[in-house]
Structures are given as structure tokens and as C-alpha cells.
Chains A and B, each alone.
Chain A
Amino acid sequence: MKLSKNFTNPLAANNPVIVQILGICSALAVTVKLEPAFVMGLSVIFVTAFSNLIMSLMRNGVPSRIRIIVQLVVIATLVIVVDQFLRAYMYDVSKQLSVYVGLIITNCIVMGRVEAFALGNKPWDSFVDGVANGIGYALILVIVAFFRELFGSGTLFGFDVLSRFGYVNNSLMLFPPMALIIVGVIIWIHRSINKDLQEK
């Protein structure tokens, strides 16, 4: 069925981060700890889902000459909604994410999906596509953050895991290049499983 393929495709075979290599910059920045990575993932899911839904609803009325501006307004509005919400109810997380919430606006995944999918598809399909792409992004973020927090701080979600076994924290894991290396390893594993993605 088309809908389920819409949903599963962005999770693995056409994952926005590890296949399309979009949204890498925030993947490096907010993956030091699991909690901000998790919240960032949820925020992006919200923004991709609703920007897709809203743009799909508006797609017949948007003048094509200013459609990019309209997309930006919709996305920026949603991002501000997320930012205000985090500041009001999750202040600590909002402090950790700092500018990266605002930078969701520039996350290519969001605008890419609106432009490539939502403008040509029905609202429900677009919504599903947005959720799935958001999850695809969040999934990678959480995997990267899992390894970085576990080996960098010895904790998971702030709970002590490794140091009781005498593990000495490797602070190299906390530096941004390590996120890039982990993303690279994930891409490597992913491509060796999905042979059709390998370039000749």
C-alpha cells in the first residue's frame, strides 16, 4: 500500500540523514546527550509533519511565484511555536538546545519535504510523509546521542551506567567530529546492508 510505503521509506531506505545527508549540522550539535537529542527529534517531527500538512492544505491557493516565501513563513511560525512551548514548559532543555531550535527553519529536511512532496500530494499523505521523515531524522539523532552519551559521559538520559564498571569517560566522544564519525559508521553499515545504495 502506498501509505505504508510513504511511512517506511524515510525511516531506512530513503532516510533523510544517512541517505540524503540532510540536517547533518544539528545532528552534530545536539547529540552530546540523549535528552536534548530526543526533544530535538520530537520538535523536528512536529515541524515537518505540520508544515507538510499546512502546505498541502494551502497548495492550491499558493501563488507559485512566492511559494518559497510562503513555505518559509509557515515553517518559521511552527518553529517559533515549538520554541515558545519549550521556553515555557521545558526551560532546561530549551537552554541546552539554544539556537538549534531556531535553526530547524534552515533544516533542509523540512523545506525539502514541503517542496518535493507536500505541494503535490493530499494532506493526509503529506502529514504521514512529514512524520516519517521527522522520525527518520530523530532516529539517527537518538542513535548518535546514545553512543556519545554512553561513552562520553558514561550515562544514559543522565543515569549512571558505565562508570560503576570502572569505565573512564572518553571526552573525545563529546566533541562534534565524533558525531560525524558515528554518522559515517551508520551510513557504512546501512549501505553494506542496502547494496542498491552503493555507488559504483
Chain B
Amino acid sequence: MAINKNSNAYIIIYTVVMVEIVGDLLAFLATSHQSNQDANVLNDQKVSIMKAFGEADANFDEVVDVCRLTGGELGVVADEAGVQSVFDLLGNRKALSEAEDGLPIFRMRKDDATKYVLPIVGKGLWGDIWGYVALQQTEDNVVITGIVMDHAGETPGLGAEIATQTVQSKFAGKALYNAEGEFAVRMQKGGAQNEHQVDAITGGTKTCDGVNAMLETSIGKYESFLRAQEVEEFACGDDCCDLADYPADGSAIVEPINEEE
């Protein structure tokens, strides 16, 4: 053969053919495995939510209602496409953190349906942090029953500890609001100083700040709903639930979205 393998023409043709073959191969591979991969991601989200509920062994589809909070009203999402769109939103952290309405929320069917899991999303030191927090309404507060957190690239051994059971278990039993009605749960540098706080991670302060901001903003979006529930059930009767028990000075983290009710 008299082909000059170092001629420009040969090299260009060689590259084009090679890239074409490799591109086709990878495109085929990606599309043929897509459904399996999507199922894995979906399953992983469900497992995380069940872990936050503290019922890792229970079947998500049997015990949990997928809901959306629209204009302060909780609506159960029943159809398959709707459920899928909720999980799609969970998978898209940017859209989730920007969402103001139609917020995803998961309700446990048993235990009088007062247990909810909310998705939380924020920024750590190096990248995104996210997770799920399980909340239970009590007589006059909202209590964290479990939390699951994960991260994209926090420092191993320091910030990355937020993904461990040791750190997450410290959040259980913490009430969200203090006597003044302010959001009080946070990871405190130097150690917890009151019953709302959790020890921060030594050397992971920036990540802990990120966790605090994440909890405050993500849970804040649901605040009016969570509080309305708690007042409705225990504090008063008919239409007195105008959040009068809580400071009107704007110390609430986010404006209630169902103000006009």
C-alpha cells in the first residue's frame, strides 16, 4: 500500500471516521441505558426520602403521598406524570432552589399524616449540598425527626461529614422555632448553646454555614404552611389562624405565601 499515513488528508479522514464511529457508539450506549439509569436515580431519591422519615425499610409507594404546595395549599399528586415531574424537579437542584410555588413535599400516610419530608438544597464550601428533612408538627412547634444530607464535593473528613449518620442523627428532635418564633435550628460553631442548636463540625465551618443557610431558606419556603397547620390543629378554632401568635415584625424568614387567606 502506498498510502502516506502522515499526510494531512489521511490524518483528517482518519480522525473524522474515528470520531463518527465513537460518537455513534456512545450515543447508542447512552440511549439504550437511559431508562435503567433514570430508574436508579428515582429509586435513590425514594430511598433518601424514606431514610429521612426514619423508615428505610418501608415501601415508598405504599406509605408516602407525593404532594405539591401550591399557593399555600397542599395538593396530593396522584397521576404518574405529575409524580415524575416532582422527582424531576428534585433532580434539578437549580430549579428546586429557585422554585417559589408548587413546592414538592412528601407526606407520611400513617401517624395521622403530620409527618412531612421537604427537600432542602443549598451551597457548601466547594459545591452543592442537598438533602431531605423530615418534620413533625407538635402542639406548638415543628420538630425535625430526621435528616439526610449529601454533597457534591465537600472536604473529606471535614465538611463531608455532613453526609454521615453521626452528624445527621444530632438533628433529630430539634424544634425549628424558638420562643420568639424565630427559626433557630443551626449548626453552631463552638458547640450547641441551646436546645435548637447542633454542634458544628470542627474545620468544616463553611460547610456548616451552608447547611444553616440551606435549612433556613429551604424550610422557610414552607413556613407558612407548616405553621398554619400547627395553629389550626391545636391553638385555636375557626378563622383565627392569622399567625397572630407569631411576630409581625418580619422576623419570619420568608413571607408567608398564603397571606391573603
Return the chain A residue nearest B44 by Cβ: A91
Q: Is the interface of B mostly helix, strand, loop or mixed?
A: helix
Mask, B2-13, CB within 8 Å of A = 1, is: 000110001100
On chain B, the residues within 8 Å of A61 by CB distance are 5, 14
Interface residues on B, range: 20 to 34
In B17-58, which residues have CB < 8 Å from any A CB? 18-19, 22, 25-26, 29-30, 33, 36-37, 40-41, 43-44
In contact, B37 and A88 (Cβ under 8 angstroms) = yes
A176 touches B156 (CB 8 A): yes
Q: Which residues of A contact B (CB under 8 A)?
A: 61-66, 69-70, 73, 77, 80-81, 84-85, 87-89, 91, 95, 175-176
| Candidates A63, A69, A81; contact of B5 at CB < 8 Å | A63
- Partner pick for A175 among B10, B15, B18, B157, CB 8 A cutoff: B157
Which of B10, B37, B157 is the most central at the interface, judged by chain A CB atoms within 10 Å of its CB? B37
Considering the chains assembled together, what is the distance between the CA atoms of A85 and B5 in angstroms?
Answer: 35
List 27 A-B residue pairs with CB atoms under 8 Å apart, sorted by A's residue number: A61-B14, A62-B14, A63-B6, A63-B11, A63-B14, A64-B6, A65-B11, A66-B11, A69-B15, A70-B18, A73-B19, A73-B22, A77-B25, A80-B29, A84-B30, A84-B37, A87-B37, A87-B40, A88-B33, A88-B36, A88-B37, A88-B40, A89-B36, A91-B41, A91-B43, A95-B44, A176-B156
Chain B residues within an 8 Å CB radius of A91: 37, 40-41, 43-44
Is the pair B33, A85 in contact by a Cβ cutoff of 8 Å?
yes
Min CB distance, A185 to chain B, in Å? 22
